[in-house]
Chain A
C-alpha cells in the first residue's frame, strides 16, 4: 500500500483499538506501536526525498479529490510530527489514565500528519478540524473553561479559513495548491503591469487578514494567544509535549503556505514600507511582540505548567519572526528553530510530566531539592535548560544564531533587538525552574519520591540525544533544508555553518569547551580534599539554623521585575476577551428576555406580523 496511506491510518486505527481493548498493558503497547509506524516510514523515505523524489496519493471521494504528497518541505514537518508523536506515546505509556486519552491523542497525530501532507484545501481543512477536535477533547477531560476558550478561538480561526477558502474557490475554481499558486502568480504580474486582475486590493487584504487570523490562532501569535496557557496546562502533560511541540507548527506551516501561494501577489498589492515588504514586516513584528510579551509573562508565573506554556508561545514567536524576515536565510532559520523548539520543548514537557507523576504537585512552592532523588530526570532537564537558553554546543543555539544573522542581514535591527531581549528572559525563567524544583531544601512530604518510570526515561533519552547531535552537527539539518530552496543558502560541512556573513563551527566550540573544563578540573583537583556538609550548615549571619527553617525562595522569585513592570501588567488581552464574551452573553440575555419571553400574547403578535409581511409580499 502507499506509504502515505499507512502513515495516516496507523495512528488512528491503533487509537481506536486501544480505546476498545481497555486493558492496561495491552493498550500501551498498541499505542506505542501505532505511533512508531509513521516514524519508521519517515526514516525509510529520507534518502529518496533528499534526492528530490516525491510520493503522491490521490483519493477520489464524492466529487472531490483528496490529494497528499510527501516531498522535502512536507517531509520535514511530518518528521517533526512523527518523532514527537513517538516520544509522546512513550510518555503516555506511563502517565495515561484510560483508553479515552489514547484514542484522542493518536487521532490528533493523524490529523496533524494529514495537515502537513495535504496538497489541496479540502483535505487540509478536514484534517485541520480533526486535529482541533481531538486536542479539544483531550483538554475537555481535565478542565471545562480552558477547553471552552480553546474551542471558541479555534472555531473562529477555522471559520475565517473557511471563508477564505470559499473566496479562493469562487475566483480560481480549484482547491489544489499548485493551481492556486499559478493563478496568483499570473494575477500578480497583471497587477505589477497595472492591468486589473481577478483579485482587487480590498479582496487581497481581506484574504490576508483571514488567513492571518486562522493560522495565528493555532500558532499562538500575539493577540490570539490567550488560549495557550490554560490549554497547555490542563491536560495530560505527556500529551502537551505533542500539543505545544507540533500542533503549533501546523499554524507555522499555514504561514509557509501563505507565503508560497500568495506571497508575490501580496507583495505587489501591499507594497513596501521602509525597504521591506509590508505583509512580511507585519508578520515579523507580530512575532517580535509575541516573543517579548510571552517571555515577560513567563518570568512572573508561579505554576510550572503555565511557565512552560508561556515559554512555548514565545518560542513559536521566534519562528514567526524568522518567516517574517522574508529572505531565504530567514526561512531556513525559522524551520530549523521549529525543529529545535519541538525537540527541547518536548523534552521539557516530558520532564514536567515525570515530576507531576511522581510528586503530584504543580506549583513551585511545593517543590525543592529533587536533584538527589531523580538524578536522571535532572540530567535531561539540564540538557533541555541549556538548549532553551541558547548555550553554544546545543541545538537551541544553532537555530537562534541563524535567526540573528537573518534578521540583521535583512536590515531589521529592532526585530533583532527583540530576539536579544527574549533570550535574556529565557535564561531568567529557566533558572527559576532549576532553582525552585531541583535545588534547595526538600519539603518533608517529598521524602519518598522515586525516579521516573522507564518509558518516560526512554522518551527523554531520545530527545536529549537529538538535542546534542543537532547541536554539535547543525550541518545535518541545514543540508536538508538547502534542498527545499534548490541551492546552497547555508554552506559548510556537517559541523560548520557559514551564512556568507558569519561563520560558526560547532565542533570547535564543543572541543574547546571540553578542554576548558578539563583545565579547570585539573586546577580543582589539586586543592584540598573536600568534606560534605548538610544543607543547613549555611551562613545566616551566625544564627543557628535547623531543617525547619525555609532556606529557599520559591514564591515571587522575580518580584522586583513585577514592580518595575507594574504599569504594563494592567493591560491584558485575556481580560479583554473575557469582557467581550460577557457583552455577547448579556446581549443574548437581553434578547432572550425581550423576544422569547414565554408570553403567549407576544407570540401571537409575532405570528400575526409574519403573516402580514408574507401576505403583503405575495408569495
Chain B
C-alpha cells in the first residue's frame, strides 16, 4: 500500500460525529482470524455463557467490513505477513486487541528464533491483555476497555499507523526483506 497516494482527511463531520462514535462503540465487528493458541478462547466468548453478541460484537469473515482485530497468541513471521496484509485491508477506524504475553514481550517463547518478540513494532496495538491465555472474563474486561477508549477518543492505533508509516514499514522490511509480498506470492504460485 503506497501511503503517499492516500488523501484522507481528518475532518470531523461535526454534525453526525457523536452519533457515529456511539454507533462505533456499540457495534464492533471482529475479523474472523484466529492466530496461535488463543484461537480456542474465542468460541467460549461467543456461546451462551459469556455471550458477546449482546454488546453488538459479531465475527465477520471479510476484513473490509470489520474493525476489531484480535491477535490471540504468539505470532510467527509467516503469520505476521498475513496479519499485516489483512490489517491493511481493513478500513479506518480500526482497533487491535492482543491477548497473552507472547505478543507483548515474547512470553514463554522469549528465546525462540521463530517468534516475533514485540508486536508493537510492526502493528500498532490499542489494548493488551496479559496472561498465558487470559480467561474469558479478562477478555471481556479488555473489550470493555476498548469500548471506553473509543468513547474517550484515545483509541488511535490507526492514526499512529498512518502517521508513523515509515517506522512500521522499516521494521517490517527488516524482518522479511524488501519486496516480500511479491516473493511470497511467487512461492505460492506453484501450488495453483
Contacts and interface: CB of A to CB of B under 8 A. Distances in A.
B5 A531 contact: yes
A531 B6 contact: yes
Interface in B165-192: 181-182, 184-186, 188-189, 192
B80 to A, nearest CB: 10
Contact of B86 (A542, A548, A550): A542
A459 B70 CA distance: 57
Given A529-B7, A531-B6, A549-B192, A544 B89 contact: no
Contacts of A544: 81, 85, 181-182, 184-185, 188
A549 B6 CA distance: 26
Contacts of B64: 539
Nearest to B86: A542
Interface residues of A, number: 14
Contacts of A445: none
Interface in B38-56: none
A550 B188 CA distance: 13
A563 interface: no
A458 to B, nearest CB: 40
A546 B186 contact: yes
Contact of B185 (A531, A546, A550): A546
A550 B185 CA distance: 12
B192 A542 contact: no
Contacts of B85: 542-544
A581 interface: no
Interface in B60-82: 62-64, 81-82
A270 interface: no
Nearest to B91: A528
A545 interface: yes
Nearest to A537: B89
Given A529-B7, A549-B189, A550-B192, A542 B83 contact: yes
A541 B63 CA distance: 9
Interface string B1-17: 00001111100000000
B158 interface: no
Contacts of A549: 185, 189, 192
A548 B188 contact: no
Given A529-B7, A531-B6, A537-B89, A543 B82 contact: yes
Contacts of B8: 528-529, 531
B33 interface: yes
Most B CB within 10 A of own CB, among A528, A539, A542, A550: A542
B18 to A, nearest CB: 17
Contact of A542 (B9, B82, B186): B82
Contacts of A539: 62-64, 86, 89
Given A549-B189, A549-B192, A542 B33 contact: yes
A243 B14 CA distance: 63
A549 B82 CA distance: 17
Tell me what chain B mostly uses at the interface: helix, strand, loop, or mixed: helix
B183 to A, nearest CB: 9
B13 to A, nearest CB: 9
Contact of A545 (B7, B9, B185): B185
Nearest to A531: B6
Interface in B63-113: 63-64, 81-83, 85-86, 89
Contacts of B181: 544, 546
Contacts of A531: 5-8
A114 to B, nearest CB: 58
Interface in A525-547: 528-529, 531, 537, 539, 541-546
Nearest to A545: B185
Contacts of B33: 542
Contacts of A545: 185
A511 to B, nearest CB: 31
Contacts of A541: 82
Interface in A426-470: none
A542 B63 CA distance: 9
Contacts of A548: 185-186, 189
Interface in A545-577: 545-546, 548-550
Interface in B103-133: none
B104 to A, nearest CB: 23
A528 B12 CA distance: 11
Interface in A502-539: 528-529, 531, 537, 539
A413 B143 CA distance: 58
Contacts of B192: 549-550
A548 B185 CA distance: 9
A405 B188 CA distance: 56
A531 B7 CA distance: 8
Contacts of B182: 544, 546
A378 to B, nearest CB: 26
Nearest to B182: A546
A546 B83 CA distance: 18
B192 to A, nearest CB: 7
Most B CB within 10 A of own CB, among A528, A543, A544: A544
Interface string A253-264: 000000000000
A539 B33 CA distance: 12
Nearest to B92: A528
A539 B91 CA distance: 13
Contacts of A529: 7-9
A550 B81 CA distance: 21
Nearest to A532: B5
A542 B84 CA distance: 8
Nearest to B192: A549
B4 to A, nearest CB: 12
Contacts of B9: 529
Contacts of B83: 542
A158 to B, nearest CB: 54
Interface in B140-158: none
Nearest to A538: B89
A292 B185 CA distance: 45
A528 B11 CA distance: 10
A549 B192 CA distance: 8
Interface of B: 5-9, 33, 62-64, 81-83, 85-86, 89, 181-182, 184-186, 188-189, 192
5 contacts: A529-B7, A543-B82, A544-B85, A544-B188, A549-B185
Given A537-B89, A542-B82, A544-B184, 13 more contacts: A528-B8, A529-B9, A531-B7, A539-B63, A539-B86, A542-B81, A543-B85, A543-B185, A544-B85, A544-B181, A545-B185, A549-B185, A549-B189
Ranked 8 nearest A-B pairs via Cβ: A542-B82, A544-B181, A546-B185, A544-B185, A542-B86, A544-B184, A542-B85, A546-B182
